[in-house]
Amino acid sequence: MKRIGLALLVMAIFCAGYFNYQKKTAHTPRYTRKISSAKMTPYQKEMEKLLYSTFEPDQTYADLLLKNANTLDYPIVYKREQHLPCDCRERIYQEFQDSLMQQPLSVKVRYIYNDDQQLLESTHLNDGQLTSKLSYTRDDHGLIQKIRTINQYGKFLTWFIYEKDRFHKVTLQDDVPAAYETFFLSDLKQVIRRSAIQTELIPAISHSFNYDQLGRLTKETTREAELIYEYPNDEEDVYSKFSYYRLNPRKLISINEITWDNNRQILVGKTANLQPSFRHIKEKTDNCTLRSYVYNENERLMSSTLDSCK
């Protein structure tokens, strides 16, 4: 499951664009000032200082971050997913309006991965027209160095700046610092807090994350809401239940439970009074194919998707 939903604009800025993939180890300058210091805001000067950072993560840092960060850029790989490993270098995501997946909808995405199954590029299409394209530059440890973005909002370049106990995503628009967000890390490189100041590009972000002694996420909190995660036993690293609360005042909104039938995952959503609200089924096969079906509270199919090798 994904974490508490982000605004579409954030996704567009930080997660879409076009950038030729490269793998580099040598440090190159990230930024050259294009405007005078007198014209820069204090916020832009903060970003400029981050862009001049010379901290270089080592392999131990990278291994922990890649394993434990559990963010959109560094998704966690659960033990259940390792039972059916996929070495496909190119995959296609397609939405359909029928359960047999014979009637495609307009949205289609193409993903390209490296040999380590790290995302290199994604191309987003709507009715066959390009809406956005992204690719990454990574270092030899597999960490992302930068993402270049071209979409309906303009052209952006996002740098990943790493420090001992955090990392930043600093976005430049037309070579000028425009916005950044910070991910604070535990000793195991788990994200424990995420923050950003509201700008024209991104909303204000204030998320905190709590973990149990086994390193599993147990609570996620924003200013407005809270998610509580529960696990069936100490061996399982995938939560089987999560509850959504609205805060101020605190009120239970929904309860969601996950069950497994071999490689078939079933997520059932219920309201606070235990009335069904949706059902989401995902089924993975050993040929890197993932089928997904979403039904509403009346068991009517709302969407189906297919993620498969090209």
Model pLDDT for residues 114-147, shown as the tens digit of each residue = 999 999 999 999 999 999 999 899 999 999 999 9
Q: Please report which confidence band the pLDDT of residue 28 belongs to, taking 50, 70 and 90 as the band edges.
A: low
Helices (H) and strands (E) in the chain, counts: 4, 19
Q: Indicate the residue type of 157.
A: L
Q: Averaged over 291-297, what is the pLDDT?
A: 96
Q: Token pair of 65, please?
A: 């971050």
Q: Give the per-residue pLDDT at 60.
A: 98
Q: Give the per-residue pLDDT at 35.
A: 81
More confident residue, 14 or 110: 110
Q: Give the per-residue pLDDT at 23.
A: 44
**Residues with Cβ within 8 Å of residue 215, at least 6 apart in sequence:** 68, 188, 190
Q: Please report which confidence band the pLDDT of residue 29 belongs to, taking 50, 70 and 90 as the band edges.
A: confident
Over pLDDT 70: what percentage of the chain? Answer: 91
Contact between residue 132 and residue 16 where contact means Cβ atoms under 8 Å apart: yes
Q: Report the mean per-residue pLDDT for the chain.
A: 89
Q: Averaged over 11-17, what is the pLDDT?
A: 38
Peptide bond into 249 cis (omega under 30): yes
Per-residue pLDDT tens over the stretch 231-284: 999 999 999 999 999 999 999 999 999 999 988 999 999 999 999 999 999 999
Q: Token pair of 244, please?
A: 């959504």
If we measure between CA atoms, which residue out of 297, 309, 306 comes closest to residue 97?
306
Q: Indicate the residue type of 18.
A: Y
CA distance 186 to 254: 29
CB atoms within 10 A of CB 302: 12
Q: Return the bridge partners of 251, or none.
A: 246
Contact between residue 124 and residue 133 where contact means Cβ atoms under 8 Å apart: yes
